Amino acid sequence: MVGARAKPLTATIADMAWLAGRWAGTHGADYIEEQWTASAGVGMVGTFRAVREGVPRFYEFLSLDAEGAGLVFRFRHFDRELVGWEERDAPLVWDLVELALDRAVFLKRGERRWMTYRRDARNSLAVFFEGEEQVHAADEEFRFARG
């Protein structure tokens, strides 16, 4: 993601209100679903699941919280038996570095890797990942519709 910001941005959880709700779609052969609560205090929580042929492949627990003057996105992966993929004390941590009306870009701490949440229309959401000089391909996007 050439030219992307690398420093945390000042923002509040109210700036992410557009993300709240249920989002569902497909990614390759997977049915995918992500749900976000409305903000409560200074944070939001969410869940994600990927299901193939009726069998859950993995889950994620997501949080978006105020930290200092900015927002931090944390998440963990779990297999279908809820065994965590990440170390117990090491969730994936991303700082908000860009924010527009319907777009939020997070930078992974310790890496030059970005995660973008982009609402293309009121009921359409795309999530994708990019590296420093790596632009994502359209088929790598996780595409959701408000459900």
pLDDT tens for the chain, 147 residues long, are: 545 677 889 999 999 999 999 999 999 999 999 999 999 899 999 999 999 999 999 999 999 999 999 999 999 999 999 999 999 999 999 999 999 988 999 999 999 899 999 999 889 999 999 988 767 767 789 999 998
Q: Is residue 1 part of a domain?
A: no
Q: Is residue 75 part of a domain?
A: yes
Q: Is residue 76 part of a domain?
A: yes
- Phi, psi at 15, each rounded to 5°: -65, -15
Q: What is the model's pLDDT at position 4?
A: 63
From 35, 46, 37, 47, select the one nearest 17 (Cα to Cα): 37
Q: How many domains does one find in the chain?
A: 1
- Phi, psi at 106, each rounded to 5°: -120, 140
Q: Is residue 107 part of a domain?
A: yes
Q: What is the model's pLDDT at position 5?
A: 73
Per DSSP, the residues of 57-116 read EEEEEEEEEEETTEEEEEEEEEETT--BSS-TT--EEEEEEEEETTEEEEEETTSSEEEE
pTM greater than 0.75: yes
Can you give the residue range of the structural domain that contains 133?
A: 13-146
Q: What is the model's pLDDT at position 65?
A: 96
From 107, 110, 112, 103, select the one nearest 131 (Cα to Cα): 112
Beta-carbon count within 10 A of 35 CB = 16
CATH number where 133 lies: 2.40.128.20
From 30, 33, 34, select the one nearest 57 (Cα to Cα): 30
Q: What is the model's pLDDT at position 38?
A: 95
Q: Is residue 73 part of a domain?
A: yes
